[in-house]
Chain A
Amino acid sequence: MTTASGGRIAPREGTGPGLTPEESALVVRIGVFVKMRWLAIAGVLIASLIATQVFHIHFSLVPIYIICVVVTLYNFFFLYQARNLDVGTRASLPEVLAVPLRRFLIIPKATSSLIERARATGNIHIIVDLAALTVLLHYTGGIENLFIFYFVFHVILAGILLHYRVAYLVATWAIFLVVLLVGLEYYEVIPHVHLEGFAAANLHQQGSYILGVLVALSTCLYASAYMVTSISGELRKRQREVVALQQKGLTEKTQELAEAGQELTKLEEGRQHLLRFLAIASHDLKAPLSAVQSYIQLMLGGFSGELTDKQRQMLDRSSTRITEQLELISDLLDISRIEGGQIVQEMEEVSISQVVQESVENVRALAADKNIKLGIKVPASLPKLEASGVRLKQAITNLLVNAIKFTPEGGDVLIRVTEQKGDIFMEIMDTGTGISAEDLPKIFDDFYRGSDREKPGTGLGLSIVRRVVEAHGGKIWAESPNPEDKKGQGSKFTMTLPKSLVIAGKKQSQKKLASNPKD
């Protein structure tokens, strides 16, 4: 039972708050001392009983019981001491009681470091134990008792659990005490207790035997000290290295993290700089063209006098070229903005059905011009998305314009929205000329204009659509002929928006509040 209580302290002390691995290990070791002592007491009692009862060796048991009681008492003190080692300044007892108690139990002052306190405690344990074993030996035959070699355990424990120098010190102390004991008994300064029925009566006066035992004991103790300390010293060194390595790794990781953070800030600054640059470039590239185009429109509108047919024709062509150039500039800047990450900045709560409706409105006139039936199939309820409404509208409008452009008069264009496993699918189908197998894999590339070069365009439209969709984490692909077309004609464009963009109910209401601060 006592061993169990001794064992219980180990994990508690070991996991004490704010202890270094070395400190907690030391605290655990002091607990080991206490535990071993319970075993030693039990061992002494059992050995004495077996010696007297089984082997009929005669010696007085009373002093042994007394020694066992003394050791038991001081082991309880040590147990209390060990439990309070890591207490430090934290008071587990009222200070009035704790201070004298601590002083009485030789608990070193709380201000000294835990390692020092634990070492001092360990040294005290060993010294007291050496004395106890010496006294025990005196009452159990002195030199006759072969348990004299048990001093080796003190050396081993000191070597493993305490400082390596302590092991040699303990060995020396043990030898000194044994020499003192056998010497005093040899010269009959103190009485000799004879183990009747075990050893020869005058063994304690046999010089050669005593010398032999002493030499064997000394070499045994010093050799043990050497072996134990060299092994445990190596282990301790390893432990320190591991801790140092862990700390170094931690420092390096922290530094890497800080550097990555700085790098991110720099990137973000660069991105902001690029977006500002693009805004200015966009304005400055378009402004002169806008002015020229405005003049041309003024002339074409007849506001500067009548035009000849030739003049009108030339101005028309100039105007067309300028419009194309303005579109190209817009497209190029759009691409740069999307690549610069502007879509992320534009993310807001978006209603998909509204985006689709508005895109369809954008092209309604265009479809009507060609007498094309514009169909729209949107489910009654669709989730709201965290997306760039402006860009999605741009992408859908672009796909619809393309569909109308490549569909002959009287054809059909259909946009259908569905929700599949949480993802949003938008399909735009037409009954047009379709896309050749040769063109199909390249239509989303930059500046790809297909084999039909007669149609106007920058060749950037679909590549912008692809970028918009991809910036939202979605996918886009085209099929031609449209697999759903009964006549095997037309083409079908599918774009998906992942469910990760769907706004959960709670977030939705919060966003609504934030976007209407005046309400």
Chain B
Amino acid sequence: MAYKILLVDDDPDIREVVTMLLEMKGYETVTACDGIECLAALRAEEPDLMIIDLLMPKMDGFAVLKELEDGRWSKYRHIPILILSSVREEASRRRYELETALEFNVDDYVEKPINPDVLLERVERLVNKKKKA
């Protein structure tokens, strides 16, 4: 069975690039445009991996991460999270920890623009890690 990956990004071109890339490698993809859609898709699809942008309208990636810390989402906590953002990792980490006083607890962080080889390698590592666990 193919791994199902949830991709959350407000930029349609980024969604296009990543979907194209992942589907070529045989992954099944589901997309969402913002944090609200993301949470809905998380319940509905129960993906094997979540790739999420940080800066989005309505509900951003930071808010999604914070929401997932809540006990209601414990069922989905095992799903690995890969951040795909144009913001530098350190800056995002700082901002999240300053604003929420929580640890920036994500499985991987890839900075845009997308380097196809790097992204595919990270995705593969995460889904395999999940399989072992």
Contacts and interface: CB of A to CB of B under 8 A. Distances in A.
Interface in A288-330: 289-295, 297-298, 301, 303-304, 322, 326
Contact of B86 (A283, A292, A295): A283
A290 B116 contact: no
Given A294-B14, A303-B20, A287 B94 contact: no
Contacts, number: 61
A384 interface: no
Contacts of A294: 13-14, 17, 112-114
B21 A326 contact: no
Interface in A483-519: 517-518
Given A303-B20, A390-B90, A517-B101, A295 B116 contact: no
Contacts of A393: 90
Contacts of B101: 517
A291 B87 contact: no
Given A283-B87, A390-B91, A303 B24 contact: yes
Question: How many interface residues does chain B have, given as a range?
Answer: 20 to 34
A102 interface: no
Contacts of B91: 390
Contacts of A322: 113
A373 interface: no
Nearest to B56: A283
A297 B86 contact: no
B33 interface: no
A297 B114 contact: yes
B74 interface: no
B87 A303 contact: no
Task: Give the dominant DSSP class at A's interface.
Answer: helix
A326 B115 CA distance: 15
A163 B127 CA distance: 98
Interface string B109-126: 000111111000000000
A346 B113 contact: no
Interface in B46-101: 55, 86-88, 90-91, 94, 101
B116 A286 contact: no
B113 A326 contact: yes
Contact of B21 (A286, A303, A518): A303
Interface of A: 282-283, 286-287, 289-295, 297-298, 301, 303-304, 322, 326, 346, 389-390, 393, 517-518
Q: 9 closest pairs, A vs B, by CB?
A: A293-B113, A291-B13, A294-B114, A290-B112, A301-B116, A290-B113, A294-B17, A390-B90, A286-B86
Interface of B: 11, 13-14, 17, 20-21, 24, 55, 86-88, 90-91, 94, 101, 103, 112-117
